[in-house]
Structure 1
C-alpha cells in the first residue's frame, strides 16, 4: 500500500501557509515529516499528505481497505474529487483571505502593523467532535503534550487506516468508542490526568444523552460540516449571532468545557467565525494593544471576557475569531523567528570649546530563534479561573525585538588637532 501521485491545487502562500496554519495550535493531529517538508494526517477516513511551494498546495492519499469513515463524503465522480472536497473544506478555501486581511487592516491599525509577516493563516474547519475532545485535552497544557494525547486517543481507540514507512495511522475515535467502561482508567494510565474523566463523561453525554447529530447541529449554517449544504444565517450582533450564543451555552453543559474551550470549539469545529477565544495570552494582547484594563478593568473575569470578545467582534465583524487568531499567532514565542535582523546606528556629536565628542551607538537586533516545539506553551485553560495566576507583562519586557548586542564607541578629538592642516 502506497501513496498516489501528487495532485496540485493552485493556492498562493498569501492565501494559505500550511507551515504556519498547522503549527499555531488549531489542530493537534498533523505530523511533520521533516525529511521532505511534508505534513500527514487522517481526515474523514483518508490519510492525507501535504506539501507546498510558493504557488501551489500538493496533496496525495492512499486507498484505505477499511470501511469508509461515517463523515466521509458520498462517492461522486471519483475518489479524486472527494479528496479535493476534503482539502478545500478543511482549509476553508472558499474565503478570499487577501480580501479579509485588507478589510481587517483598514479597520485596525494594529492588525495592519503585525499581520504583514503572518499571511496565509486560515481557520481550519475541523470535525466538531475532534475539536471538542482536543481542546478538552488542551487544558493547562502545551502543544507537544496535547498532540501526544490526541495521538494516543487515535492509536488506542480510533479506527486503523494504514501503516506507512513503519508508522501506523488511525482516524479520530468516535464518541461511542470513548464512552466504554474502562476508558477513563485507561486514559489515566496513559497520562491524561484529570482530563480522562472529562473526556469519558463528555463522550457519554454526546453518545447517550444527546440525539444523533446534536453536536453538528450546533454548527453555523453558513459554514456547516463536510457534505452539508450551507444556508443563510442570522444577522450579526456585537455579542455574536443567536446561533453562536446558543452553541456556546450548549457546550458549557459538557464536562471539562469552560468559556475558552467552548469558544475554540465554536470557532474551529462549528464554523462560528465571530467566536473569540479569550485566555490570559489574548487578555494581555487586549491590555497592551487595545487599552483594556487601563482603568478599573484590571483582571480577566466574565465581564472583561465578554467585553474583549464584543470589542473584537465590533472591530473585525463576522470573522473576528479569524483575525484574532492571526494576532495570537503573531504573539507566540514559537513564531518569533519571523523578526528580521536589524541594525540601528546612532551618532551623537557634542561640540565643546576644546574638543569634539563623537558617540556612536550600534544596536543590533536579531530575530529570536524558535524554541523547540515541546517548549512552546499555548495555554487554553479556563481563562476565568486562571487569569490571576499567570501574572502581568513583565516589567521592562520588550516590544518583540531582542537587542542581541549593543556597542558604544566614544571618540574625543581635540579641536586644535582636528583643525590642524
Structure 2
C-alpha cells in the first residue's frame, strides 16, 4: 500500500452557496464519487485517468488534494499536479458560472424556486466526461441511484486496471482500490455484452457494448471516439441530440441528460415521470398526479418548453435544484437536526404477515422513490429486438 499521508490539502475560497458537495455529488448526476465519513468532515474521492482527486469543504472553503499513482521524488511534480487539479475542478464544477446570481434570477421568475433556494443552495451542474456520462445514463434505464452506482463501479473494476489503492479515510485498516473509467475501445470488444450480463447489467449490457462499438467504428479507436463526443459541445443542441440518438439504447431522455451534464447545453431539461409530476404539481401542466400517463414525444416537448419558459437559458440547472428538492432522499437536507425529525414522513403501519407476503413489491421490477433520478428510475422501458428509440421516457 502506498503512503499518501504527506500529501497536503490545498484550499480554494468557495462558499457552499456556490457549491454544496453533499447535494451535487449525490443527486444522480455522477455515480463514481466515493464518500467517506459524515458531515461536516465528509470526504469525496474520484479516480481520473492518472490521479485520484479528494475533496472536502467547510462553509467558506473547498479543500482538494491530488493523489498520483506513484510517489513523487520532489515537491515540484506534486505542485504541478495540484495546479492541474485546480484547473480540472474549475472546469468540472463550472465555477465560472455565478450560481448565486442564477438563484436570484430564478427566485424572481419562479415563486416555487424562491421557497426552496436557501435550503437547497449550492446545487450546480457538473461538466462531466461525455463518454462516462453517456454510459452511466445508459445504465440508469429503469434503475435507481444505488444500483447504478454499483454497476458503474463494477464496470470500472472489471475493465480498467488498478491505478492505486489507499487506506479508507474512515477506517485506515481497510484498503480502497481506485480504477479509472474504461475507454470506448475496451467496451467495444465483442465479449463485453456477455460479461456485463454475468455482472448483472441485464439488457443494458447490449446497449453499452453496441454504443461503444458504434462510436469506435464510426469515429475511430483510441481517443478519437471520445474526442468526437467532446466535440459535440460546439454543435447546436439539435445537431448534438441527433448524433446521440443514433446510439444503441439512447432515447430522448438519456440524450438530454448527456447534453445537459457534459455537453454544455444548459437550457435542456431532461423529462421523465418525476419531472412530469413536478410540472403538474407546481407549474400548471394539465394532468393527474395519481394516473400514469404515457410519455409521448409531444408531451415530453410540452413539458420541456414550459419549464424552459419559466427558468430561461439555464433551465436545466434550475430543473436539477427542483428535482433534488422533491426527492425523499433529500427530505431532511438543509434542515436543522431538531426540525429534521418533524420533516421525516410518518412510516405506515406494519402490515400483517399475510398482507406483507401478498403486497410486497418485487425488488427486481421496482425502484425506490428515495433513489429517483433524472434518467428513468420510475420508468419501465419497452424493450425491442431492434435498436430502441426511446428507452428512457416510457411511462412507468
In the alignment, structure 1 segments of 5+ residues that lack a partner are 67-74, 222-241, 344-363, 391-421
Secondary structure at the counterpart of residue 184 of structure 1: helix
Cα distance between partner residues in 2 of 1:63 and 1:340: 37
Tell me whether 1:337 sits opposite 2:328 in the alignment: no
Cα distance between partner residues in 1 of 2:254 and 2:84: 31
Q: Aligned residue for 2:236?
A: 243
Would you say the 8 A contact 1:28–1:147 is kept in 2?
A: yes
* 1:226-271 per-position Cα deviation (integer Å, ceiling 9, x unaligned): xxxxxxxxxxxxxxxx701111121111111111111101111111
Secondary structure at the counterpart of residue 87 of structure 2: helix
Cα offset, 1:209, TM superposition = 1.7
Q: Aligned residue for 1:157?
A: 159
Matches within 5 A, 1:207-356: 207-211=216-220, 212=224, 213-219=227-233, 221=234, 243-294=236-287, 299-338=294-333, 340=335
Tell me whether 1:55 sits opposite 2:60 in the alignment: yes
Which of these residues, 157, 176, 200, is aligned with residue 191 of structure 1? 200
Higher deviation after alignment, 108-117 or 17-26 = 108-117
Q: Go from structure 1 to structure 2 and tell me whether the alpha carbon gap of 1:8 and 1:278 turns closer, same or farther (over 3 Å shift).
A: same
Secondary structure at the counterpart of residue 134 of structure 2: helix
Would you say the 8 A contact 1:115–1:327 is kept in 2?
A: no
Please, what TM-score do these two structures have when normalized by structure 1?
A: 0.75
Would you say the 8 A contact 2:35–2:44 is kept in 1?
A: yes
* 1:174-211 per-position Cα deviation (integer Å, ceiling 9, x unaligned): 00010112111100000000000000000001112225
In the alignment, structure 2 segments of 5+ residues that lack a partner are 72-76, 168-174, 348-366, 382-389
Cα offset, 1:339, TM superposition = 7.4
Would you say the 8 A contact 1:337–1:369 is kept in 2?
A: no
Larger RCO, structures 1/2 (Cα 8 Å, 6+ apart): 2
Q: Go from structure 1 to structure 2 and tell me whether the alpha carbon gap of 1:164 and 1:370 turns closer, same or farther (over 3 Å shift).
A: farther
Cα distance between partner residues in 1 of 2:331 and 2:92: 27
Q: Aligned residue for 2:21?
A: 18
Please, what TM-score do these two structures have when normalized by structure 2?
A: 0.79
Would you say the 8 A contact 2:142–2:392 is kept in 1?
A: no
Cα RMSD after superposing both structures? 2.9
Which structure would you say has the larger Rg? 1
Q: Which has the higher helix share?
A: 2
Secondary structure at the counterpart of residue 326 of structure 1: helix
Q: Aligned residue for 1:28?
A: 31
Q: Go from structure 1 to structure 2 and tell me whether the alpha carbon gap of 1:61 and 1:370 turns closer, same or farther (over 3 Å shift).
A: farther
Q: Go from structure 1 to structure 2 and tell me whether the alpha carbon gap of 1:77 and 1:41 turns closer, same or farther (over 3 Å shift).
A: closer
Would you say the 8 A contact 1:201–1:255 is kept in 2?
A: yes
Which of these residues, 122, 125, 144, is aligned with residue 123 of structure 1? 125
